[in-house]
Structure 1
Amino acid sequence: MKNLRYISIILLLAIFNSCEDEPLGKADPSKVIQVNSELYNLIEKAAGNDFENELTCIDFNYAFTLVIYDENMDIFGYQVINSDSEFSEFLGTLEEGKSISLSYPITSILDNGQPYVINNNDELKEAIDKCLEEDTITTCNNILTQPTCIWKIRHINGPNTEYGSSYFEVSYYGNAGLYFQEEAFGGTWVTYFIEDELHLNIFLTGNQEISDDWNFDWKVVSFNEAQMEITNGTDTYQLVKDCYEPCRKFLYEECEIEPGSQRAIFDLESYFDCFFPFTGIPDPSMVTWSYYETFEDMLAGTNPIVNLMYENSINPQIIYIRFDDINTGNPLVYVPIILKAISC
């Protein structure tokens, strides 16, 4: 399967049919694109620029002229197209029963620099379908990985109701974290298509019950810029965007010290502004805080991390930040964060 991440399409004027026994200017119905056909709607999607229809990996080179045919496959007129907005408006207003024509072959360039030739309507539809899948995945991932936002879980259906008000965080590199009942669990998050359906593969580690509940190939029922609904056939959840300025994060990534080492240096204090909002404490001047490698040390207040330019010992690694009342020294709350060394 060819990877059509970006296709530049040149549309040429198609006026004459090649068959000698047909009237001059009469179109072959198998070679035109009828209004509201599946291919017509895909081309309309490629020309559109709103969130629901935007398709950025195919670009039309303007200006070009389209031939318009009537119900009898006779030439009805011509239309010069100068921009995406003109093309989108034209496609949206063309009457039922009309058709348009494109000239083949259409020459395109794959993202690896190799030429790719589209010879007919079927191949054009296949190219746009593949491009649409990749564009949908890219759009979905870009929405999920906004640096100032995490995703609040809302339970819709199924037995596992306890995850309501928990959070997912997803990074640009496909790392994921689940924040559940004041614990954090790291893993991965991969989106892909199966038979024209967008799927989400979640894999979390650190707790068998968490793994049993979340490690599935989830079907993405719907998504937009503010929410995503997923189901595994047993449970259905809505993930709702929750943004906080300047940030709210519990998953932190740094480049490996050496390639393949799985080790990185994490400047723990530099993350403060992003993990402090999880405490619910209104003012950081009210507390002191310290970092711990284990939950047990954090509860006991023993063996705090001294070097806050911290090198992880496992990958990913969860550490705990304990917050104590600045006046009494009594513990108030703790926050777990996930440290992940990545290849850069």
Structure 2
Amino acid sequence: MKLSLPKFSILLALLIITACAYDEDDNLNNTPNGEFMEIITTDSDLFKNLQDIASNDVRPDKSIACIDFIYPLTLFVFDNSNELLSSHLIIDDDQFSSFLEDLDLSLSISISFPITSTLSTGEEFIINTKEELKAAIDECLNEELVFECNQLIQSCIWKVGYSYNYSNDYLGGIFQESNGFTTLNVNDVLMSGSWSPFIIENELHINIGLNDTSEIGTFFNFDWKVEYLDENSFLLKNGDRELVLNQRCDPEFADCGNFVFEVCETEIGSGISEFILDDYTFCIFDTLELDEAFDINYYETQEEALNSTNAIISSDVFINSENNQSIFVRIDDDENDMQYVMVITLSSIDC
């Protein structure tokens, strides 16, 4: 049975699902048999979708909010020979989520069909099989991901973050919704364009289209495949290209710039200033979304950073030797035995 749903209507309100639970009083002599029931294996996409429905995860790709079960409902558990092991009365999402999480991977489950689904419009349709249930969930999930992706840029700004695998010159650039247009601000150069999420073969994509023919537009104007790093971060991929976007809803996001740190000159025209490198540690950790347990040290040369020698005492005053001097920052993740080296710029300004 193919479901026909009004476009986006499934996102405007909750889809209510009522399950017909197995009633032992009506079937005293009828033990459920896996050969005749709709078995859902733990390695199936449908099983994962059921976990997402029961989940309260804040990440849109880890939960399904547009479908909800009306409890109680009954689940049956079968062994790998499709023999019934147990039945369970589920009363809420928390119990459902815990049950699915703790289920042995060698076992399977079944939900009593048919399932009657009611839209917010009052329209009803009946789901008779697990294939129809999966189709309804897939359609709901795809619409929800597109909707969420569109809403995210309208509610907060997205800041171009640091990627360890692909370098770009636009770190700190800000995507924002403004008067119905998507804008990108890079070093006070403002461009407008579009931010268009869509689904291809159940994968979320964002098409970025800036009205810009410069190197900036050439870098960003692609169809990007979207992966969630966490609830506040996207990883966008196009071939070998990689772009990290971090959501910023706090008012202090602008305090962290493009890793160019400016301090007034000690003497006008000298190009020399006094810097305290510790002052920039928070910005680096915040922009790179680093764990506070990581170690960070500053070096004057890349070689020193790679060899971890002659670290600058970051709490002391550091006097740059030239304007716009590069400082190499080494970040150590001891738990995973990984090291990263990045560059910041110390800029002396006339003020």
TM over 0.5: yes
Amino acid corresponding to residue 18 of structure 2 in structure 1: I
Alignment of 1:280-319 (within 5 A): none
Q: Distance in 2 between matches of 1:233 and 1:174?
A: 30
- Asked if 1:25 is matched to 2:38, the reply is no
1:168-221 deviation digits (Å, cap 9, x = unpaired): 2236x8631111232100111111111121100111115454433322211113
* 2:185 corresponds to: 179
Q: Distance in 1 between matches of 2:180 and 2:64?
A: 22
Of 49, 57, 81, the match for 2:56: 49
Alpha-carbon distance change, 96 to 155 in structure 1, aligned in 2, over 3 angstroms? closer
Task: Tell me by how many angstroms 1:234 deviates.
Answer: 5.0
* 2:197 corresponds to: 191
Q: Distance in 2 between matches of 1:101 and 1:194?
A: 30
Amino acid corresponding to residue 204 of structure 2 in structure 1: L
Identity across matched positions, percent = 30
- Asked if 1:121 is matched to 2:130, the reply is yes
Amino acid corresponding to residue 102 of structure 2 in structure 1: T
Residues 153 and 168, structure 1, Cα contact 8 Å, conserved in 2: no
Residues 8 and 60, structure 1, Cα contact 8 Å, conserved in 2: yes
Alignment of 1:7-156 (within 5 A): 7-14=15-22, 24-28=31-35, 31-52=38-59, 53-110=62-119, 113-147=122-156, 149-154=157-162
Task: Tell me by how many angstroms 1:123 deviates.
Answer: 0.9
Alpha-carbon distance change, 137 to 156 in structure 1, aligned in 2, over 3 angstroms? farther
Q: TM-score, normalised by structure 2?
A: 0.60
Residues 202 and 217, structure 1, Cα contact 8 Å, conserved in 2: yes
Q: Distance in 1 between matches of 2:234 and 2:31?
A: 52
Structure 1: runs of 5 or more not aligned: 17-22, 249-279, 282-331, 334-344
Task: Tell me by how many angstroms 1:124 deviates.
Answer: 0.7
DSSP-derived class of the 2:34 partner: coil
The CA RMSD over aligned residues, in Å, is 3.4
Alpha-carbon distance change, 225 to 111 in structure 1, aligned in 2, over 3 angstroms? same
DSSP-derived class of the 1:71 partner: coil
Alpha-carbon distance change, 194 to 161 in structure 1, aligned in 2, over 3 angstroms? same
Q: Distance in 2 between matches of 1:95 and 1:211?
A: 50
- Asked if 1:227 is matched to 2:233, the reply is yes
Alpha-carbon distance change, 63 to 24 in structure 1, aligned in 2, over 3 angstroms? closer
Amino acid corresponding to residue 238 of structure 2 in structure 1: N
Equivalences, count: 247
